[in-house]
Amino acid sequence: MGVVDDAVGNELAEVIAGRAGPALGEPACDALLELLTSTAAQAVPSASGAAVSLSQEGWRTATATGPLVRRVDTLQATLGEGPCHTAAAERRVVVAPDLHDEARWPHWAGAACRLGLTSTMSAPLVVGDDVVGALTLYARHPGALTDAASVMLSLFAAQAGVLVASAQAARGAERLPSRVQAALRTRDEVNVAVGLIMAQERVSRDAAFAYLTAMSQQARQPLGDMADRVVRKHESRHRGRRGTGDGHRR
């Protein structure tokens, strides 16, 4: 008898890995991503600002250190070209020392120069096998972003990727069908009940799970319901011991 039925197995498999990651909700991830972007710009003194662009469902600027940087970064999505696109496509840090002479993105580079930003450096945000966006530094002077800045940018991009992955997991959990959410709760209840049986009976995890399964079959109750009974019984005993203050096992 399984913890969850096969009908929701595939849906569960897609979110288990996300639940095992950092337990951060989407608002917290967004706030941390904004802080990380600001810190990245401050860590490179020659940079005039930084921005994070995300590529899910079309490119968009998720956060930027100021209006000018946001405007220049957003132009990449509008024009369909720019360093963040190239960094994501090639999965590497892309450097443009002088946008006046940049031939890879002629429309975007010309617009960036007219707005006063003349050099840039972009690193992909890698999540597993996927690239979900890019972290880009901007500078007002040609040649301002050095190899040392590239190393720093790569470190911040790796952390930004972790935050984006955590936010995606939070959004995925919120969109789960009710039956999948119920199955996840059942899984958690069973894990808690198995742990309690292991501690009480001093047996292995497999033996505890077999014991719980046998109890559910004997009572003709679903495994999740039996797990809930075990947990509630333990909580009741614990409250009783605290109430009497005698400390003896009942």
Whether 109 contacts 81, CB under 8 Å: no
State the DSSP string of 19-62: HTS----HHHHHHHHHHHHHHHHHHSTT--EEEEEE-TTS-EEE
Range of the domain at 135: 21-174
Which residue stretches of the chain are H helix?
9-19, 26-43, 67-79, 83-90, 106-115, 147-174, 178-201, 205-219, 223-244
Whether 34 contacts 70, CB under 8 Å: no
pLDDT at 42 over 80: yes
Give yes or no: residues 123 and 237 share one domain: no
Rounded mean pLDDT of the chain?
81
Band (17; pLDDT cuts 50, 70, 90): very low
Q: Please state the pTM of the whole predicted model.
A: 0.61
Per DSSP bridges, beta strands 94-96 and 130-139 are: unpaired
pLDDT at 28 over 60: yes
Sorted by sequence, the CB contacts under 8 Å of residue 144 that are 6+ apart come out as 46, 47, 119
Assigned domain for 16 exists:
no
pLDDT at 41 over 60: yes
pLDDT of residue 180: 56
Which of 120, 153, 174 lies at the terminal end of a domain, its last residue?
A: 174
Assigned domain for 197 exists:
yes
Q: How far apart are CA 30 and CA 21, in angstroms?
A: 16
Give yes or no: residues 197 and 212 share one domain: yes
Highest mean pLDDT among 12-21, 150-159, 199-208: 150-159
Residue 229: C-alpha distances to residues 54, 221, 241 (Å): 46, 10, 18
Band (6; pLDDT cuts 50, 70, 90): very low
Q: How far apart are CA 230 and CA 9, in angstroms?
A: 25
pLDDT at 16 over 80: no
Query: Phi/psi zone of residue 58: left (φ > 0), alpha (ψ -120 to 50 degrees), beta?
Result: left
Q: Give per-residue pLDDT as tens, 135-157.
A: 999 999 999 998 889 998 998 99
Say which residue, 59 or 245, is predicted with more confidence: 59
pLDDT of residue 22: 40
Give yes or no: residues 28 and 67 share one domain: yes
Give yes or no: residues 152 and 214 share one domain: no
Give the tokens for residue 101: 């002479």
Q: How far apart are CA 113 and CA 68, in angstroms?
A: 12
Give yes or no: residues 95 and 165 share one domain: yes
Reduce the DSSP state of residue 138 to 3 states and report it.
Answer: strand
Which of 152, 174, 196 lies at the terminal end of a domain, its last residue?
A: 174
Identify the sign of the CA torsion 34, 37, 43, 49.
Answer: negative
